[in-house]
Structure 1
Amino acid sequence: MSRLNGRLAQIAVLVLFAVALAACDGKDNAGLPGPGAQGRPQVGVVTVHPQSVAITAEMPGRTSASLVAEVRPQVGGLIKERLFQEGGEVKAGDPLYQIEPASYQAAYDSAVASLQKAEAAVPSAEAKVERYAGLIKQNAVSKQDNDDAVASLAQAKAEVAAARASVDTARINLDYTRITAPIGGRIDKSVLTPGALVTASQDTALTTIRTLDPINVDVTQSSTNLLNLRQAIRDGRIKISGDRVQVRLKLDNGQLYPLPGTLEFTSAYVDTTTGTYGVRAQFPNPDRLLLPGMYVRAIIEEGVAPDSYLVPQRGVTRNTKGEPVALVVNADNKVEQRVLTVARSVGNSWLVEAGIGDGDRVVVEGSQFARPGQDVTPVDVVVDETTGEVRERGQQSAAPAASAAIAQGAARVDAAGTSTAN
C-alpha cells in the first residue's frame, strides 16, 4: 500500500512539473507561444496590403508670435499713470500709459491762438486787394501799391497755413501723451513705473505686445529632402494633396496639438552654412496654449503615395551588406528572406517601394527562432502604430506540449515502479 502511495505521489509531482514546464516554455521572451506539435517555431506575422499613405515630414521648430510690437514713447515727459493690467490681453487702440500733458496742452493752446491771429489778418488783406483792383483801372493807385497788396494777401494766407500746421503738430504731440496699443495681443510687464521720465523714441521699450492668436511656427527642412520629394512627385510616386497644405503640431511633451495649421510660405533660398531652408506654418491659438519660444515638431503633409506598402520597423533588419531585409512567411509556411527598397519612415513603419507584395506575411516577432527555408507556425499579430510594439496576437494552445510532457513522466514512473516490483 505504501509502495502504491509512493508511486501516486511521484506521478503527481511529475504532472505538476510537466505543466509548469509547458507554461514556462510555451511563451518566449516576446510573449509568443512555444513550438507547435511538429516542433515548428511560432512567429508573429503582419500581413501587408497596398494602401494610400500620407507622406509627411516631421521637422523641429520654434513658435513665435505672429505680430510683435515694442511700445515706446513718441514724446518726452513724466509717466503720470499706467492704464493696463500687466500680462493681460489688450486690443489695438487701448490706452497703455498717460504722460503728463500739461506742457503739450499749453503748446496746443498757443498754436490755436496763433492760428486765430493769422486768420484775422486775411479778411483785411483781401479787402485791400479788392479795392486796389478797382482803383488800378482808374489809375488812382500805382501798380507797385497794387502788387504790394496782392503780396500781403498771399503772405497772410501762408501764415494761416503755417499756423494750422502748428496746431496739427501740437495736437499730435498732445495725443502722443496718451500711449495706446498699436496691435492687439498679450502685453508684457511694464519696464517703467509712474513717475519715470521718458524721452521720445528712446531705446528702452516701455513694454511689448505679442499677438498669440494665430501663432507662427518656424521650422527648417533639409534641402536633400526637398530634392527627393520633388523627384518623387515628378516620377509619380507621390501625388500632391492640395494647394492648402495642412500641418499638425507635436508638442514638447509628445502630445499632438488639437488644432491643425496651414503652411504659409517656404524660403526662397537655402542656407549655405546648414544646407537647410526655412518653412513657416501658422496655427490658431484661441486658448493661448502655445507661447512664443516653445520647442515643437511640425508634421507637414507633403502628399500621398498611392498603392504603397508599410512594413513595421521591428520587422526590418540589415544584412552584412547593409541592405534592409525582412523575413516573409510564404504560402507553404516557410521563411523567406527578402531584400527591400525602403523609401522613408512613416511613423513606426517603413515605406517600402520594392521587395514586398500584396498579402505577404512579414515576421515581426520571434525572428530569432526562424531561419530562411525553415518551416514555422505563423501567428497573426497587431502592431501598435504609436509605440511600434505588438498589441494583440493570435491565441495558440499549449496543451499538446503539456500532454507530451505528462506522458513521458508517466512512462518514467511506470518503468521505475516495475523495476521496484521486480
Structure 2
Amino acid sequence: MATELDDTQLSCLLEPSSEIQISSQVSGIVSQVNAERGGNVEKGQLLIALESGLEKAALNSVKARAEFTIRKLERNQDLLRKGLLSEYERDELLTDRELADLATREAEERLKQRKIYSPIDAIVVERHVSIGEYVGSEPVLELVSLDPLHAEIVLRSDYYGTLEPGMPVEVLVGPDGKPYQGTVKIVDKIIDAASGTYGVRVEVPNPGARLPAGLKCRAAFNVAKAE
C-alpha cells in the first residue's frame, strides 16, 4: 500500500534551472552594455561589447590583402591556362590566395570576440561592469534561467526505486500551498551513507518567470516503501 511521505521529506526549495557567470574571451574596455540587473535577456542577444577599433582596422587590412591576391590571381589566369608559369609561381599564387582567406577568417573571429552574447533566455541577477571599465578574465554578468525551475527533494533510502524520471509531481508553493505541476527529471544513483538519503530533482514549468527562485515548497506524491 502506498505510504505518503511526511512533510520533512517533502520539503524543497525552488531554484533556477541554470546559473551562469558570463566572462569575456578577451580583455578590453567596455564600449556598450545592454543588460541591467533584474532585466530579461534572450538567447543570442548582445550583452556587452568591447572597444574594437584595432580589430576592425586589422580586418580591413587583411581584406585588402585578400582582394589584392584575388586580382593578382585573375591577372595570371591566362598564363596559368597556357602553362606559361612555373610550378613554383603557380603554387605561390594559389598559396597566397589561401593564406589571405585564412587571415581574413582569423581577423573576423578576433572581431567577434569583442562582443558577448547571451547563451540562454535568462534574467540578469548581477552586472559587474559599466561602460569605460576594463574587462579581464573575471565575470562581467551573472544570469539565471527561471523557466523551468528546479525543486530539489531529499528522500529516505527506503523509498529508493519508487520514483522514476517522467513521473508527475504536484509541487505546493508558499504558505498557502498553491499547486503547480512538476515532473521528476533526475533520481540520484548514489545514497548518502551518513544520512541514509538520496536526492530527486523535480522540474517545474515557469512560463513568464511568474514564480521567483528561493520560495520554499513541498512535493506532494504518494509512494510505497521499497520492500
**TM-score of the superposed pair, with normalisation by structure 1:** 0.47
Q: 1:193-239 CA deviation, whole Å, 9 max, x = no partner?
A: 1111113xx1x211111110111112222212326x59xxxxxxxxx
Name the count of aligned residue pairs. Answer: 222
Q: Distance in 2 between matches of 1:116 and 1:63?
A: 57
Give the 3-state SS of the residue equivalent to 1:183 in structure 2: coil
Amino acid at match of 2:69: A
What percent of counterpart residues are identical?
A: 20
Equivalences for 1:101-116 in 2 at 5 Å?
A: 101-116=52-67
The unaligned stretches of length 5 or more in structure 1 are 1-52, 134-145, 231-241, 304-342, 344-422
Tell me which residue corresponds to 2:150: 216
Quote how far apart the aligned CAs of 1:121 are. Answer: 3.0
Give the 3-state SS of the residue equivalent to 1:210 in structure 2: strand
Q: Which has the larger radius of gyration?
A: 1
Tell me which residue corresponds to 1:59: 10
Give the 3-state SS of the residue equivalent to 1:105 in structure 2: helix
Quote how far apart the aligned CAs of 1:166 are. Answer: 1.9
Match 2:116 to one of 150, 173, 179: 179
Q: Distance in 2 between matches of 1:164 and 1:184?
A: 35
Instruction: Assess if the C-alpha contact under 8 Å between 1:125 and 1:152 holds in 2.
Output: no
Instruction: Assess if the C-alpha contact under 8 Å between 2:35 and 2:127 holds in 1.
Output: no
Amino acid at match of 1:156: L
Amino acid at match of 2:145: T
Amino acid at match of 1:211: S
Give the 3-state SS of the residue equivalent to 1:259 in structure 2: strand
Quote how far apart the aligned CAs of 1:292 are. Answer: 3.5
Quote how far apart the aligned CAs of 1:289 are. Answer: 4.8
Q: 1:235-280 CA deviation, whole Å, 9 max, x = no partner?
A: xxxxxxx9842212234x5332332111112112223343322211
Tell me which residue corresponds to 1:277: 198
Tell me which residue corresponds to 2:219: 298
Q: Distance in 1 between matches of 2:83 and 2:11?
A: 82
Q: Distance in 1 between matches of 2:222 and 2:113?
A: 48
Q: Distance in 2 between matches of 1:292 and 1:159?
A: 57
Give the 3-state SS of the residue equivalent to 1:173 in structure 2: helix
Judged with a 3 Å threshold, the aligned counterparts in structure 2 of structure 1 residues 254 and 55 are, in CA distance, closer, same or farther, namely farther
Give the 3-state SS of the residue equivalent to 2:179 in structure 1: coil
Q: CA RMSD in A?
A: 2.8
Amino acid at match of 1:285: N
Q: Distance in 1 between matches of 2:221 and 2:102?
A: 55
Q: Distance in 1 between matches of 2:68 and 2:12?
A: 63
Tell me which residue corresponds to 1:260: 181
Quote how far apart the aligned CAs of 1:125 are. Answer: 4.9
Indicate the structure whose relative CO is greater, using CA pairs within 8 Å and at least 6 residues apart. 2
